[in-house]
Structure 1
């Protein structure tokens, strides 16, 4: 640069020097000879013929020089390059390189490289990144980021022009898959070629528990990995499990594809392929899974599952399952063939969509023996419940004054033991909210007149009762009953003597039916012996009923103070007595008669009354006049005790008796046995989460020698005041290690299959297991952040225990026996951060035997899950299942599953 400056200044000085010494013509020399000039003979035209336009300064003079037709070269870098080095950034101008050292980074467009040492070569438009080797420790390894893809190699060379790269010992994570490659060549933005590659879902990529090793592979980020010969290694030991080629999908979105089946053997049906099929990713709102089973003895089954969702509106699931089961071989005496099916539908609407209308569905119907005989699941819990139920409903409310609302629904209830099915399809419920016609427009309603109110309710349904064998056949509709009932209750309430609350009400009902019956006695029927003949009459008919009731109640408080210096400072007893009276006339007009003619002249003919509304949807109206009184008394008992905390200002409240209720009735219109049994219910809190519940029925009347009730009080017959007819005591208790820690809200699983079938939300009935859902146990994120010391030894061992005890006593006919008595329990213990044991069982004291028992354990093997479930006790439920497989969903088909199914023939 200094040489250039010297040449420039020298040239400038020469030019200045020449401009002062040179002239355009020689100057006149004073000593020279003067030569006179001659006159020019060329004639000059007096006036030029060319018109010269005056020059205007606003005109633009066009340059006649042509533009260079050679296009300029593109710049090597098309974007800003940002770089940094904490220790130094050194520029070598001679070699056109930039060195960045210690916590260095360089960014260009969508690329970013972080490393200990980065070298940028401007001549080759190439960047090289390495780590820092200090005292034998290689640190600050490069991190190469391209968009959402991230690679962590030992070193990397990347060319900004060709977008190609050479990566050594790279590590990357794609859709649950860790990829370790010795040499990686980046061909373009979407294709990488790998050499000596390890694939694993293990979190510790430096020392994985298992991996798949291949020599060559093609890697397309977020899409797929295609490899050559691949072997599986476990703890760096090669296994004979290998494939000539392999394909690993890495898509982060749902994609359609095949589902690999489970291969196994069944003692009754031979070898099988189970749960193989295809997954259809239809669109962003719905999918479909098609699975099938095939057994070598001819049994088969298939399942259709579809999940759908529309954000902020609704979500749901539809499932259909069918199985054709063959036992033994054709021609053998024990050969059987049966078909099973099950339909499930769950639909939930977002409450924010439309507050005034709602549609919901919870359907679970199918063959009564599906849960017991299905070859693709073990559902002991649902077998104990013996109930399938469904409900599909749509409700709508109109914000008028008064409010009007209605619900259209279809319901289904099925007993899997008796195979009886009851359906209401459809049913309609409508109502008009309570109105007060005489209430003031402003202020509080006072007195009986202003509190008069009325409502309107209507219920209509089409009820179908059938059996499992006639379900979905035309015969199931032959006995359908159609009817509707309109109800208008009118009531009022008021205070008397300030402390007594009186209520008066009357109720009007009108019932519509679609068919009635007619009975008569046919003397010629039954070969002349005569018989009662009943005919069904189709057509609209109706009846109307009404009644009146009144009641009075109050609340009595009793407080016993012992002094603030006492441990028990006070006890409060709250009693709520109530008396009710109801009267209803007899509706004799809806009853008819027929006469049974006696063949014996000495025996009078028998006149039988019946109602044409018998066996209809809502039954027949009452024939007899009714006048009765009801009595009830409820009690609660509380205490105030001195708090152990000396800083507490107020005493601590303690509930001694949750409730103790007595109720009975007296029928004025009955000719005998006017008193009804005294019903007793109560609940006593023992400790936290443990309530002792009891109920019983006390009969004031005595029994004769044939154990029939007689119109004589038991105390007058030499007995006690009441006879205990039946009773029940029960308690449920659950506690865990969390009870000794800081209180945390524990969520109950109310979405279990057992609970939907009418059972308990807990696991006292056992856990259902479907063989096509052998997913690993979710990782406990709370224990994941524990210290290394606790990872080796679990000082705080989590555990839980649930107990349920029930006892039922029966003595209605002097049998004086305990009809049922059982204790059920379930418990789980986390022995270590990776070992969990679970057990559920029970004991039947009545039958002196252990109830359904399930044992199981789960072992977390980091990248793998191993578990074992065993049902050792139960005539038809004994079974076991062993499973070990990879946790990640991308490799969930790599597993070992061995099981012994329950004997479905028992």
Structure 2
């Protein structure tokens, strides 16, 4: 019994010891497994996760009895959307939401019990959409807080300042503390870019993904480490991609604060269109007084519609209101309306130059995209204003010289696969000086391109000569009314209303080539419809010619027959193989035509007295009608044209490849044309029309033309039926001519890539101008012309444009007593050059050689101030003399922060 008890006692103690040992081992295993889970959650890149204590996560697959096959087509992956890597299985509460990628060049310390990761030197942590780089970084798994700061070298210099990137937000700081779960954080000594603003904040607190508050801020649009200018504000609220709002703001230049400030500031950070206040600019004007110009509001109603409201107000009591709604639908249409009301008050009541007027203007433009309805186009550009609207525009005095307004509405339709084309237009023109308004409504045109009725759709064998017989049609109808805007009444509209129509039937036949000759006969018939006849009679009581109008329906016809023959002759002169000039080629293209035109309008012409001395002049009954009158007399004669072209081949001795020889055009074209009327009883020979054109060295453009009359003239300047060469050696009498020479030269750009960027930007700008009215485009071009300093291109060191124009012509005097000769010569020049890499000077002018005076001259000086620019524009002569000095930031967000001083011509009276 005793041995049995001892045996049982020993084994009992042994069993208890084994149980205790197993328990200790199990606890050690659980602790190691728990710590191992933390390592896995930091290092794993796949979507696996530590197992959960529930049964479902321990290898058991639970099937969903409600799961069925998805019949909906799943969309493919969008490569433009950034995917954030996260775990897609159930995780423990203290686990991170996604994998973490980390690296460091010095060392990495993993605190398993504390669940923390430490990285030293060039630390990089990537977690979800966060990318953090810093000299030293820490990641706490339990709180999901990232902490980063810099390292210091032996001299105390900061190394590896933390750079925090989340989406499009980029932040560089001395210290960053960020909670990835709450998306809140704190930074110290941070630098960031918000839209066009470079912001430095001593402290900033991120309260959500897109909103943070900053303390003791310095912000600017200058990208230098020590900016040329900046604004200081104690408190600023930033809403990413929307706006920034600051309290009291003080500007400073070169670190020197100015004794001025703004109580608050709003800075838009939104890219693209967004609603907002349009700030005004101050102006000083002797006629209108002190003023605020451009104050208004821009409202985006939806993706397709917006509206702008602006206003000007002046101390003398004048004001102006602009209402500009615009609309656009991509690939469909775009347009806008511009309605202006102006209340003008010049000086004070009682002053000798006091004026008080009210005027308005209205414009509408609309364009339909060609892709909306292929084959159909519609566009409108309507402009209307009171006659004195342009006279007093304070912000643009040059507009006072625009005394005409034009409008047009057009619709066109082309039928696919058919030869028909229809146009319907309405036109309006208004002269603000004479107050004459002309309206053409409607103006209808219908045409049929040439069809070949005898040509089968399919044929075998040789092509018959009559297959080329073609006929076409061109028709137009137009009605027109003229009236004065100061004397508008219905009776006047009826009295001035007239209409007309024109019909043309061209018939042609292209015959087979006769060796080197091309032969083409043609027939044309034309008829015009008139609503009025104009009979001119001499009034002996007033010593003037009176015009009597007869209303009704009248027609006029004209027919012509002809045949044309053309060919080409080639001549070539070759030189030696080693010669720089390899060959010169001369091409002569003569064309010869026989035509006959019967005098179907002889009854429409008459002769009447036009002067006191009994001088008579021939008129047509339809002179002054919409489509004009047919020429008098029959014609049966010869037409001759001779065209020439001269070019050469030149060897490039520096190039031995395929491009060693290039073609150079010496004269693009030169020749003459004339005719002879076999059926006329006098003046059978037509005038000689000479012309020449060339573009020498692809740099100098030359065009010239002249008219030579073979007949003499009497003492009053009238032609007489006598050849000039009958009494002297001459080819004819010079009637008129013109010569134009122009060239444009420029230096190579300093930066070729920047030049390409400028060209691309100009291309986009020109494409965008299609959505503007013509009036807006003219205003933009006028602004560029009058303010060249603001558009100076420092990438082009110098640029020069020169043109010379000469014109000599003879016109009939108003009293019908003879001809007068007028000679005009002018030189137009414009150019600019860099005085230094940051200073540019330019000039633009027109010199009248005939009048020996400078008609127009403007000069500009521009200074590139890095983040600012200064421009000086001067017009020292002429009625438009003025000067303008502007200093403003380059950034668009601060474009209204400018210093401007302008004086115009009326300030010098």
Q: What residue in structure 2 maps to residue 51 of structure 1?
A: none
Q: What residue in structure 1 maps to residue 221 of structure 2?
A: 201
Query: Are 1:188 and 2:208 matched, yes or no?
Result: yes
Q: What residue in structure 1 maps to residue 476 of structure 2?
A: 459
Q: Report 1 or 2 for greater relative contact order, CA contacts < 8 Å, sequence distance ≥ 6.
A: 1
- Alpha-carbon shift at residue 213 of structure 1 (Å): 1.0
Q: Deviations over 1:401-420 (max 9, x none)?
A: x4222122234456677666
Judged with a 3 Å threshold, the aligned counterparts in structure 2 of structure 1 residues 77 and 426 are, in CA distance, closer, same or farther, namely farther
Distance 1:646 1:533 in 2: 73
Judged with a 3 Å threshold, the aligned counterparts in structure 2 of structure 1 residues 647 and 150 are, in CA distance, closer, same or farther, namely closer
The structure 1 residue matched to 2:628, chosen from 615, 619, 633, is 619
* Structure ID, larger Rg: 1
Q: Secondary structure at the match of 2:305?
A: coil
Q: Deviations over 1:510-566 (max 9, x none)?
A: 3334x334879999x999x9998845435x554544332222222222233444454
Q: What residue in structure 2 maps to residue 489 of structure 1?
A: 506
Distance 1:720 1:660 in 2: 21
- Alpha-carbon shift at residue 675 of structure 1 (Å): 2.0
Query: Are 1:552 and 2:565 matched, yes or no?
Result: yes
Q: What residue in structure 1 maps to residue 6 of structure 2?
A: none
Distance 1:276 1:708 in 2: 63
The question of whether the paired residues in 2 share the 8 Å contact of 1:766 and 1:840 is answered with no
Q: Deviations over 1:76-112 (max 9, x none)?
A: 4551251413233212245443212233233444444
The structure 2 residue matched to 1:170, chosen from 183, 186, 190, is 190
Distance 1:531 1:408 in 2: 37
Distance 1:522 1:652 in 2: 67
Judged with a 3 Å threshold, the aligned counterparts in structure 2 of structure 1 residues 477 and 228 are, in CA distance, closer, same or farther, namely farther
The question of whether the paired residues in 2 share the 8 Å contact of 1:702 and 1:713 is answered with yes
Q: Deviations over 1:703-735 (max 9, x none)?
A: 223333211112224463312222221111001
Q: What residue in structure 2 maps to residue 297 of structure 1?
A: 316
- Alpha-carbon shift at residue 323 of structure 1 (Å): 3.5
- Alpha-carbon shift at residue 386 of structure 1 (Å): 7.3
Q: Secondary structure at the match of 1:243?
A: coil
Alignment of 1:512-591 (within 5 A): 512-513=529-530, 515-517=531-533, 534=548, 536-537=550-551, 542-587=555-600, 591=604
The question of whether the paired residues in 2 share the 8 Å contact of 1:407 and 1:428 is answered with yes
Q: Secondary structure at the match of 1:281?
A: strand
Q: What residue in structure 2 maps to residue 435 of structure 1?
A: 451
- Alpha-carbon shift at residue 800 of structure 1 (Å): 0.8
Judged with a 3 Å threshold, the aligned counterparts in structure 2 of structure 1 residues 591 and 84 are, in CA distance, closer, same or farther, namely closer
Q: What residue in structure 2 maps to residue 867 of structure 1?
A: 871
Query: Are 1:88 and 2:107 matched, yes or no?
Result: yes
Distance 1:475 1:415 in 2: 18
Q: What residue in structure 1 maps to residue 51 of structure 2?
A: none
Report how many aligned residue pairs link the two structures. 808
The question of whether the paired residues in 2 share the 8 Å contact of 1:818 and 1:846 is answered with no
The question of whether the paired residues in 1 share the 8 Å contact of 2:534 and 2:623 is answered with no
Q: What residue in structure 1 maps to residue 18 of structure 2?
A: 13
Alignment of 1:72-111 (within 5 A): 75-77=93-95, 79-80=97-98, 82-86=100-104, 87-111=106-130
Query: Are 1:690 and 2:704 matched, yes or no?
Result: no
Query: Are 1:672 and 2:682 matched, yes or no?
Result: yes
Alignment of 1:813-828 (within 5 A): 819-828=823-832
Judged with a 3 Å threshold, the aligned counterparts in structure 2 of structure 1 residues 439 and 895 are, in CA distance, closer, same or farther, namely same
The CA RMSD measured in Å over matched residues stands at: 4.5
Query: Are 1:839 and 2:843 matched, yes or no?
Result: yes
Alignment of 1:133-148 (within 5 A): 133-135=152-154, 136-148=156-168
Alignment of 1:49-448 (within 5 A): 75-77=93-95, 79-80=97-98, 82-86=100-104, 87-122=106-141, 124-135=143-154, 136-160=156-180, 162-204=182-224, 206-252=225-271, 254-337=273-356, 343-362=362-381, 366=385, 373-377=392-396, 379=398, 389-400=406-417, 402-412=418-428, 422-440=438-456, 441-442=458-459, 448=465
The question of whether the paired residues in 1 share the 8 Å contact of 2:498 and 2:532 is answered with no
Q: Deviations over 1:650-689 (max 9, x none)?
A: 7443322221121122233433222222111112444332
Of stretches 307-316 and 146-155 in structure 1, the one that deviates more from structure 2 is 307-316
Judged with a 3 Å threshold, the aligned counterparts in structure 2 of structure 1 residues 452 and 679 are, in CA distance, closer, same or farther, namely same
- Alpha-carbon shift at residue 423 of structure 1 (Å): 4.3
Distance 1:521 1:731 in 2: 46
Judged with a 3 Å threshold, the aligned counterparts in structure 2 of structure 1 residues 844 and 337 are, in CA distance, closer, same or farther, namely farther
Q: What residue in structure 2 maps to residue 708 of structure 1?
A: 718
The question of whether the paired residues in 1 share the 8 Å contact of 2:789 and 2:871 is answered with no
Judged with a 3 Å threshold, the aligned counterparts in structure 2 of structure 1 residues 672 and 329 are, in CA distance, closer, same or farther, namely farther
- Alpha-carbon shift at residue 220 of structure 1 (Å): 2.8
Query: Are 1:857 and 2:864 matched, yes or no?
Result: no
Q: Secondary structure at the match of 2:828?
A: strand
Judged with a 3 Å threshold, the aligned counterparts in structure 2 of structure 1 residues 570 and 89 are, in CA distance, closer, same or farther, namely closer
- Alpha-carbon shift at residue 740 of structure 1 (Å): 11
Unaligned stretches of 5+ residues in structure 1: 1-7, 18-71, 597-606, 784-796
Judged with a 3 Å threshold, the aligned counterparts in structure 2 of structure 1 residues 695 and 15 are, in CA distance, closer, same or farther, namely closer
Judged with a 3 Å threshold, the aligned counterparts in structure 2 of structure 1 residues 418 and 535 are, in CA distance, closer, same or farther, namely closer
Distance 1:410 1:510 in 2: 23
Distance 1:221 1:655 in 2: 60
Judged with a 3 Å threshold, the aligned counterparts in structure 2 of structure 1 residues 405 and 9 are, in CA distance, closer, same or farther, namely farther
Distance 1:73 1:652 in 2: 75
The question of whether the paired residues in 2 share the 8 Å contact of 1:766 and 1:854 is answered with no
Judged with a 3 Å threshold, the aligned counterparts in structure 2 of structure 1 residues 562 and 678 are, in CA distance, closer, same or farther, namely same
Q: Deviations over 1:855-897 (max 9, x none)?
A: 11222222222211111111x2011111112222222222211
Q: Deviations over 1:105-141 (max 9, x none)?
A: 3344444433221122345543321112223221221
Judged with a 3 Å threshold, the aligned counterparts in structure 2 of structure 1 residues 851 and 521 are, in CA distance, closer, same or farther, namely closer
Query: Are 1:644 and 2:639 matched, yes or no?
Result: no
Distance 2:773 2:726 in 1: 49
Q: Deviations over 1:823-856 (max 9, x none)?
A: 1110022344433322101321111111211111
- Alpha-carbon shift at residue 165 of structure 1 (Å): 2.0
Q: What residue in structure 2 maps to residue 881 of structure 1?
A: 884
- Alpha-carbon shift at residue 616 of structure 1 (Å): 3.1
- Alpha-carbon shift at residue 802 of structure 1 (Å): 0.3
Distance 2:777 2:727 in 1: 44
The question of whether the paired residues in 2 share the 8 Å contact of 1:426 and 1:462 is answered with yes
Judged with a 3 Å threshold, the aligned counterparts in structure 2 of structure 1 residues 546 and 655 are, in CA distance, closer, same or farther, namely same
Q: What residue in structure 2 maps to residue 654 of structure 1?
A: 664
Distance 1:608 1:860 in 2: 65
Q: Secondary structure at the match of 1:485?
A: strand
Distance 2:750 2:711 in 1: 51
Judged with a 3 Å threshold, the aligned counterparts in structure 2 of structure 1 residues 593 and 809 are, in CA distance, closer, same or farther, namely closer
Q: Secondary structure at the match of 1:851?
A: strand
Of stretches 333-342 and 718-727 in structure 1, the one that deviates more from structure 2 is 333-342
The question of whether the paired residues in 2 share the 8 Å contact of 1:518 and 1:537 is answered with no
Distance 1:170 1:750 in 2: 41
Q: Which has the higher helix share?
A: 2
- Alpha-carbon shift at residue 374 of structure 1 (Å): 2.8
Alignment of 1:886-905 (within 5 A): 886-903=889-906
